[in-house]
Amino acid sequence: MVRVTVPRKIVATGTWFYGETIPTRIEIYAKPAEFAYSRFDEDDDLNETAPVPVTRDGFVYQASLGNCGEHQTLAGAKAWADAQPWGPVKWDDTPSTFS
């Protein structure tokens, strides 16, 4: 097993309203699918024999709050956030690419 630092990049940001009045930020992160949570054990060690999730662009997406899990697309992560009781999110115009 190998312990690694997982590279990730913010690919979307937005605002939701706590109690419908307090603006609160949310970010969506992209990271290479090879570092998906499903490839790590309970000690946070990378299991290099675990399969890499297959996604359209080679990345998985995760919101900065809540128990959102990982999504195969940016649209999927945004849809998860918008569907939460505190949603929908007012998304900013930010680049949606990993570089």
DSSP H helical segments within the chain, as ranges?
74-82
Question: Tell me: the pLDDT tens digits for 63-72?
Answer: 998 678 899 9
Question: Tell me: the pLDDT tens digits for 4-46?
Answer: 677 889 999 999 999 889 999 999 999 999 989 888 888 888 8
pLDDT grade for 99, boundaries at 50, 70 and 90: very low
Domains of the chain, by residue range, sit at 9-91
Spatial distance between the Cα atoms of 80 and 76, rounded to a whole number of angstroms: 6
3-class SS of residue 35: helix
pTM, full prediction: 0.82
Bridge partners (DSSP) of residue 4 are: none
